Amino acid sequence: VRCHSSGTSPRQSPSPSHNKQAAGKVSASASAPASTSASASASESDLVSHHLAAAPTSPTTPTTLATMPPRVPIPPLSILPLTSIVRSLVITTISSTRLLTPSLAALSIIAHAQGPILSPERNRYLRYLIKKTIYKQFCAGENDAEVKQTVNGLLKLGYKGVILGYAKEVVMNESQAGKLNESHAGKLESSGDNDAAKACIRNEINPWAQGTLRTVQMTSPGDFVGLKFTGAGSQALFDLSKKTGPSAALKEAIDSICDLAAARDVRLLFDAEQQAVQAGIDAWTLRYMREYNGKTPGKAVVYGTYQAYLKATPSILASHLAAARKDGFTLGVKLVRGAYLGSDPRHLIHDTKAETDDCYDSISASLARRSYGSVLKPAPGETEFPPVDVVLAGHNHTSVRKIRALRDEQAKNGGEQIDLVYAQLQGMADEVSCDLVLAGRVNAGETKVDIPKAYKYLVWGTTGECMKYLLRRAQENKDAAQRTRDGRKAHGKELRRRIKAVFGFGPRF
């Protein structure tokens, strides 16, 4: 039975809504319904046909759904093409063995190389090798045509949309971040050096703005665009580190990006970055939320990113919720565990993974319920929870299942639900993403069930522009060794299942 058709186009309802949904809990592996009807989804009908064909029959006992054997659950990874399975298996195998350490060292050298041999931008053979392996695993493409092909492939699998980002960024080590406040290199636009300021605008701010505007144009209504301020270069780094507003040229660039996104019904995710600049990013995020999220009641255009591995995150989020209630706008929240473990000061981060997990799960539950709790406590004097739109970005299957169970209970009781989507990085946690996609397929068209909306986060840019992003993905695999091993086992199991199916030792999906 083929399950590569999602039945309905994921683009039919691109804009977020805040409807009330009543539902009973239905999982992708739930038992078949007691009767067939015209309202059954295409994937359900295919499964029924599969079992009717396989079930033993007799002349006196007609085959009915009631006498069918239990349905074989659809393996989540069965929706992926074989090439993706094999490539993921190879990469997760390297990432979960001793090969990762030398691989990380090589990637780091390539990511910072300028010479003709080790720079992907100057060595076409190296560029080809990288593009066909790790680039293809994690990135969308180098141009509009390649990005469109990648995105269409995800939509055909059943994803509701994508989160697309322009790969250009600046990643500093802790020493560089510590020296940032002492540096005057970024103080260009406000200095008397007009030539240097013009060069900064021409060579850093304008290319970043053009790349980000192009990213917004590549997306469709209902999609997201990830926006990384440090990609705008030295002036942005200086402004953020000093916690000032963006300089005139940078403000003009950000305004144009926000205006275009709002006009195209595309949502913007302001990415979290290293702690040296994060306080400035938080201030800019609130500034643009006030301006753009208040224009359409109940809908966020701009989202901030909140990292659960930081001890200060609950109080920061609580202060932003208080600002949203006071100023009357919807708070856009992208919740992540964190991606700068290797560069952020260790004392700012939770002492154990269990503490980070508890912080993430507690905050996500509070957001879904729109109520404060033991971790996300209200700011002084606050009691009312403002409207929120949420992107739960995470690769932890347990956390995803917890929030799905909560939303199933809300739907069952007819409670109001916030607009919430799930997101995983392209090339990672496919077993989590595909499980969400399958649940969306099985529940499509139902009125009494919560239908999860799955998105993939991916970046585009030249191979050279994407190298720092790829290095961070590799480092993340190292930091999450157990999850990487789980991914390797899941892809290995799926590959073995397909091989057995070829020889008739199992069902084909």
How much is the pLDDT for 356? 96
pLDDT value of residue 94: 83
Burial class of 82 by CB neighbour count within 10 A (0 to 12, 13 to 18, 19+): exposed
CATH code, 463: 3.20.20.220
Domains identified in the chain, total number:
1
- Please tell me what DSSP assigns to residue 78: G
Note the pLDDT of residue 155: 97
Q: What is the mean pLDDT of the chain?
A: 83
Read off the pLDDT of each residue in 15-31 and give the average, rounded to a whole number.
41
Give the closest residue to 235 by CA, choosing from 219, 246, 223.
Answer: 246
Decide if pLDDT at 63 tops 50: no
pLDDT recorded at residue 471: 86
The neighbour count for residue 94, using CB atoms within 10 Å, is 18
Average pLDDT over residues 114-121: 89
Q: What is the DSSP letter of 20?
A: B
How large is the average pLDDT for residues 63-77? 58
- Residue 412 domain boundaries: 138-480
Please list, in sequence order, all residues whose beta carbon lies within 8 angstroms of the beta carbon of residue 247, skipping any fewer than 6 positions away.
Answer: 189, 190, 235, 239
468 or 281: whose pLDDT is higher? 281
Of 336 and 13, which is predicted with more confidence? 336
458 found inside a domain: yes
Residue 207: is it exposed, middle or buried by C-beta count within 10 angstroms (0-12/13-18/19+)?
middle
pLDDT reading at 51 higher than 50: no
What is the spatial distance between Cα 302 and Cα 299, in angstroms, rounded to a whole number? 9
The verdict on residue 72 lying in a domain is no
Quick: pLDDT tens for 119-162: 998 899 999 999 999 999 999 999 999 999 999 999 999 999 99
Q: What is the pTM of this model?
A: 0.80
Q: What is the pLDDT of residue 170?
A: 57
Q: Is the model's pLDDT at 464 over the cut of 80? A: yes
Residue 250 binned pLDDT confidence (cut-offs 50, 70, 90): very high
Mean predicted confidence (pLDDT) in 496-500 = 93
Tell me whether residue 492 is in a domain: no
Non-local (6+) Cβ contacts of 226 within 8 A are: 163, 164, 165, 166, 269, 271, 457, 459
Asked whether residue 431 is domain-assigned, the answer is: yes
In sequence order, the 6+-apart residues with CB closer than 8 A to the CB of 474 are: 95, 100, 103, 104, 107, 134
Q: 193 φ, ψ to 5°?
A: -85, 85
The pLDDT > 70 percentage for the chain reads: 79
Residue spans of alpha helices (H) in 391-453? 397-412, 430-443
Give the pLDDT mean for 429-441: 93
User: At 48, which helix (H) or strand (E)?
Assistant: helix 42-54
With CA atoms as reference, report the closest residue to 295 among 270, 322, 332.
332
SS (H, E, C) 135-178: HHHHEEECCHHHHHHHHHHHHHHCCCEEEEEECCCCCCCHHHHH
